[in-house]
Structure 1
Amino acid sequence: MQLQMLLEAEDLQGAKAILVPVQPADIAEAIEGLPEAMQAIAFRLLSKDEAIEVYEYLDSSVQQALIEEFRRQEVLDIVDKMSPDDRARLFDELPATVVRRLLEQLTPTERQATAQLLGYEAGTAGRLMTPEYISLKENMTVAETLERIRSLAHATEIIYYLYITDAARHLSGILSLRDLVIANPDQKIGDIMTRDVVCVYTSDDQEEVARLIGRYDFLAVPVVDREKRLVGIVTVDDVIDIIEQETTEDIYKQGGLQSGGDNYFQTDLLTVARKRVVWLFVLLLTNTVTGTIIKAEEEILRQVVSLAAFIPLLTGTGGNVGSQSSTVVIRGLNTEELREMGPAQVVMREAIAGALLGVMLGTVATLWAFWLLNGDWSVSLAVGISLVAISVLASVAGSGLPFIFRAVGLDPALMSAPFITTAVDVLGVLIYFNLARLILKL
């Protein structure tokens, strides 16, 4: 990296020169890629205004490291100028003692804005929103509104949407900047605003907010309290962060790992092992049960040893089929794609898909086993028919369990994987041996 080479050569002017024309997000990424000892040096090369912008894009771990490196006044200058929502997210990551100290020394306005956001529950629209928006009154003219925007634009996060409130701050309408610009200067805001406003409540889950903005292609959505008073807005840039965060969390859960919101690759190995071992113990127990079943079938295995060779194929394929079904169903639940389909319809659809997959895979497995066993049709058919049955079982388990877990208040993404493995391994092995007995007449 050119920046690192210049810093290692102590060419600070050269390093500063290559940072000047770069976007804040790219500067933040470059600083994050530096060795920890160089991050503070590179950050100090930025002007005060650049530093404030870049700091908001940095990973929380780098933000914390820089806070420890800077003198108190440097920290306060940066933190005080951050947008309230970004500041609240930073404070979520800092120790409580540091947060208290920083809050005490913020300007009264910024302290009040930050305390308001921190007062809402984590993961809600209230915690995610920013109180920096432009509000208007219905009796204002277009010309007066434009003048108000000019005076407040520097202090608000977004000006593309303008919000109209009554005397009690109740949200009564919304106006786009486009509609405002093309309107007659003497027109009243009340005549051109849209009264049918889509909004969210402070207690709404942040994932629901992200889904709403994505559905309507909004740049921002207003946030109201229980009395429908406007208290803030959630902007699309914050939603993108939430989508990435929620997607990462779901992926971790489907792998049987609870991230707790931490960066996995920056977490110490002991914590990583502790988080991963829980479901591995569940799977270990499952394999013990499967092993017990196989041991109980020693008699048939002694008579037809070749049956043992296909157990990993059957359980592995069943696990993969079940994982595919659970993945599409969990994704459909999260995106509400399944809201028009009932659980029974979804499970039936996946069962038919599992049967089709089973027939295709079973046919190939039967022919392969026939070739491998030099023409033994009995064992080959046992393998093929078992694979069909296991594929249907896995599809039903993979599509049905997420609905069951959600109905009882458990997280489908976290719970489905180990239980699908349990069902497929245990029941799949039982199906295989019973079919083999039937076909081989043992």
Structure 2
Amino acid sequence: MTEEISAIQASSRRELRQLVRSQLQLLLEQGNLEGAKALLIPVQPVDIAEAIEGLPESMQVIAFRLLAKDEAIAVYEHLDSAVQQSLVQQFKHQEVLDIVDKMSPDDRVRLFDELPAKIVRRLLSQLSPGERQATALLLGYGEATAGRIMTPEYISLKETLTVAQTLERIRSLAKTSEIVYYLYVTDASRHLTGIVSLRDLVIASPEKTLGEIMTRDVVFVHTDTDQEEVARMIQRYDLLALPVVDREQRLVGVVTVDDVIDILEQEATEDIYALGGLQSDGDNYFQTNLITVARKRVVWLFVLLITNTVTGTIIKSQESVLERMAILAAFIPLLVGTGGNVGAQSSTVVIRGLNTEEIRDLGMGQVIFREALAGGLLGLILGAIATLWAYGLQGNVFVAVSVGVSLVAIAILASISGSALPFLFHSLGLDPALMSAPFITTAVDVLGVLIYFYIARIILGI
């Protein structure tokens, strides 16, 4: 089995994960615990975590208990929060305490954020004094801030140390630090004064002091900085870690790039769900029970249901027009559907621009004007095609022109709505991704139908 895994490792990590998951479940079903334990020995912790997540819930705790203590801690940190909670409830108390006490503080805080308050208080009170203090420190900061996601496990040094002394100190502290690629220089009051990369340290002369080789222009964030801004700064400056200081500029922790990757994935997932009218609380969607899934999805579907009712009422109010030219009704889905797609495109690029700050220098007015021009251009292209298609379908040039002109107007309306509404909701402190989609649909459906019938009345003389 080990040889088979090694062969697959060379070809595809995905195939490896699939093999481990299927073989692990088969061995557990057969009751072959020794075989299952041997199977997991050469596998990376993150792949073991994914394999355990794919097992039936009754097998997850069995598979986890096959791991050695040190490996179990690494695997546990990679597990989905829902699986972590499930295992906590099934473990014996001492097992839970052994794992939680050895976790890094930032990973432990993420777990505590998902657990019931009663369990968190009990676990917190039984941690070792040092780990309890570190965890309480992080829990004291606001959610989704740099202080909440940072780790206090870093190496800080004084600038009077020589390179040789620093290397010796790194050897003694490396096991208690989450990152050694950057070394932070502080003064007697723990104020951050400089930074030294491991590369600079290795190539410097042993007798030089840190004060001579350190960089004094340090990029840092404060404990109350939003985690998305932290992620953007690490991305912008190509850092592996970012120091975090308090209001007095004292170094209190660092945010590492692996945590930032998790944040970016989480924020991107929330935005994608929100664009589809889904409320996300960070849980794995496919591991959430159906009642919760329905509750998350029903809100905006209900809003859209009401919108469609209003649209239907407007169409009913135009019975006199439809009685004289019934073919007009055939083009309503085409017009509002195309308008909805144009609006969704505009809102997507604007929301993405707001998140990445790509449109920060353009300003709201310029962005909306640009999208309105784009909508007009798209409307002309699509309108010309729709006019030809409507004429071929009906043979009435006036109906065809009504459809084409309406499509141009609706495309412009949709582009303006799609670009303006995200700015509006952003200024109100609301989530643009979650709020924009249903309101864009409302604007396009209701106003689009009104525009269509108004233009048709003018051109057809009804």
Q: TM-score range by the shorter chain?
A: over 0.9
1:241-295 deviation line (CA, Å, top 9, x unaligned): 1011111111122222212233333333223222322222221221122111111
Question: 2:226 is matched with which residue: 205, 212, 219?
Answer: 205
Mapped to 1, the partners of 2:70 and 2:430 lie a distance apart of 46
Match of 2:425 in 1: 405
Mapped to 1, the partners of 2:44 and 2:430 lie a distance apart of 42
Answer yes or no: is 1:350 the counterpart of 2:371: yes
Question: 1:222 is matched with which residue: 225, 239, 243?
Answer: 243
Taking structure 2 as the reference length, the TM-score comes to 0.94
Match of 1:419 in 2: 439
Mapped to 2, the partners of 1:66 and 1:273 lie a distance apart of 26
Mapped to 2, the partners of 1:22 and 1:291 lie a distance apart of 59
Match of 1:381 in 2: 401
Mapped to 1, the partners of 2:289 and 2:38 lie a distance apart of 36
Answer yes or no: is 1:293 the counterpart of 2:314: yes
Question: 2:260 is matched with which residue: 219, 233, 239?
Answer: 239
Mapped to 2, the partners of 1:140 and 1:59 lie a distance apart of 42
Q: Matched residue of 1:123: which SS?
A: coil
Q: Matched residue of 2:406: which SS?
A: helix
Mapped to 2, the partners of 1:264 and 1:13 lie a distance apart of 33
Match of 1:320 in 2: 341
More divergent stretch after superposition (5-14 vs 223-232):
5-14
Taking structure 1 as the reference length, the TM-score comes to 0.98
Q: Percent identity?
A: 74
Answer yes or no: is 1:76 the counterpart of 2:61: no
Question: 1:114 is matched with which residue: 110, 122, 135?
Answer: 135
Indicate conservation of the 8 Å contact 2:82/2:283, yes or no. no
RMSD: 1.0
Mapped to 2, the partners of 1:48 and 1:366 lie a distance apart of 70
Match of 2:304 in 1: 283
Question: 1:167 is matched with which residue: 188, 204, 216?
Answer: 188
Amino acid aligned to 1:181:
V
Mapped to 2, the partners of 1:341 and 1:315 lie a distance apart of 30
Stretches of structure 1 that go unaligned for 5 or more consecutive residues are none
Match of 2:287 in 1: 266
1:300-344 deviation line (CA, Å, top 9, x unaligned): 100000000000110011001000000000000000000110111
Mapped to 1, the partners of 2:42 and 2:299 lie a distance apart of 49
Match of 1:130 in 2: 151
Mapped to 2, the partners of 1:37 and 1:419 lie a distance apart of 44
Q: Matched residue of 2:67: which SS?
A: coil
Give the superposition deviation at 1:127: 0.4
Give the superposition deviation at 1:227: 0.5
Indicate conservation of the 8 Å contact 2:379/2:408, yes or no. yes
Question: 2:67 is matched with which residue: 37, 46, 49?
Answer: 46
Moved beyond 3 Å, runs of 4+: none
1:164-200 deviation line (CA, Å, top 9, x unaligned): 0000000000000000011111111001000000000
1:6-52 deviation line (CA, Å, top 9, x unaligned): 11111212211121111110010011111111111111111111111
1:70-101 deviation line (CA, Å, top 9, x unaligned): 22222111111100000010011111111111
Mapped to 2, the partners of 1:363 and 1:81 lie a distance apart of 66
Mapped to 1, the partners of 2:147 and 2:104 lie a distance apart of 15
Mapped to 2, the partners of 1:56 and 1:304 lie a distance apart of 66
Indicate conservation of the 8 Å contact 2:155/2:177, yes or no. yes
1:141-176 deviation line (CA, Å, top 9, x unaligned): 111100110000011000000000000000000000
Mapped to 2, the partners of 1:62 and 1:75 lie a distance apart of 13
